[in-house]
Amino acid sequence: MNNQEVIDIYDDNKQKTGRTLIRHKEFLKEGEYIIGVQAIIMNSKHEILISLRSPLKDRYPSKWECNGGGLLHNEDIVEGLIREIDEELGIKLKKEDAIYLKTSKSSYKFKEEYLFKVDIDIKDIKFTDNESIDAKWVTIDEFMDMFHKGDIVDNVDFNEDDYKRCLELLK
């Protein structure tokens, strides 16, 4: 079975270039971008769901994160995010429940962030792909404290202002 992930390459304006690459086998050229997705999952108590990355991961082992990943070739942004959350946490999100939060841009990636309101018991989370090994609900103060201590991966782009926006969007 071939498990190589083919992904689309985008230009500076987030338009597909028509080129693809195989993740971790081929690399972007200057001025090329990929699309990453991240879910901010909040419960009715306004806590944020974070998961602990496996100590076996090459990048950010044993760090906490808001889950997400990368889009596959021709994959819709929200559908890709739902796939990633299902693969990593076994949570079945619905496309109609996705609330757009923001887009950010780095030197090689556009990151699309969406908010989901989900009430799930931690014991019901299934770590199916061995990327994550634990999960917990945290308050925004706990999240920011963990981030400043270096316990959360440094590429998580979520802060107090984003949290306040989430609360507004959930009203």
CATH code where residue 159 lies? 3.90.79.10
Q: How confident is the model at residue 130 (pLDDT cuts 50, 70, 90)?
A: confident
Q: Residue 22 and residue 84: Cα distance in Å, rounded? A: 17
Q: What is the mean pLDDT of residues 48-53?
A: 97
CB 157 within 8 A of CB 38: yes
Which of 31-35, 42-46, 80-84, 153-157 is predicted with the least confidence, judged by mean pLDDT? 153-157
Range of the domain at 90: 38-101+114-169
13 falls within a domain: no
Q: In the predicted model, what is the mean pLDDT of the chain? A: 94
Instruction: Report pLDDT for 1.
Output: 38
109 falls within a domain: no
Is the pLDDT reported for residue 143 higher than 60? yes
Instruction: Report pLDDT for 46.
Output: 97
Print burial letters for 29-53: b (CB count within 10 Å at least 16), e (below 16): eeeebbbbbbbbbbeeeebbbbbbb
Of the chain, the percentage scoring pLDDT greater than 90 comes to 87
